[in-house]
Amino acid sequence: MKKQVEQLENSNELLQNAISAGIGSLRDEVRESTVQEVKKALQANIEAVQKATKALEKQSDTLTSVMKQKVRELEESKNSFFRYEGLKIYLFWGGMVCNIGTFLIVLYYLFVK
Report pLDDT for 22.
82
Q: How confident is the model at residue 24 (pLDDT cuts 50, 70, 90)?
A: confident
Q: How confident is the model at residue 61 (pLDDT cuts 50, 70, 90)?
A: very high
Mean pLDDT score, 96-100: 97
Q: Is residue 100 part of a domain?
A: no
Q: How confident is the model at residue 29 (pLDDT cuts 50, 70, 90)?
A: confident
Percent above pLDDT 70 for the chain: 97
Report pLDDT for 17.
80
Residue 47 and residue 49: Cα distance in Å, rounded?
Answer: 5
Domain that holds residue 5: 1-79
Average pLDDT value for the chain: 88
Q: How many domains does the chain have?
A: 1
Residue 17 and residue 19: Cα distance in Å, rounded?
Answer: 5
Residue 23 and residue 21: Cα distance in Å, rounded?
Answer: 5
Strand boundaries in 13-65, DSSP class E = none
Residue 107 and residue 97: Cα distance in Å, rounded?
Answer: 15
Residue 53 and residue 46: Cα distance in Å, rounded?
Answer: 10
Report pLDDT for 63.
95
Question: Quick one: which of 23, 81, 41 has its CA closest to 49?
Answer: 41
Q: Is residue 103 part of a domain?
A: no
Q: Is residue 56 part of a domain?
A: yes
Mean pLDDT score, 18-36: 85
Q: Is residue 53 part of a domain?
A: yes
Mean pLDDT score, 46-68: 96
Q: What is the reported pTM?
A: 0.48
Report pLDDT for 88.
81
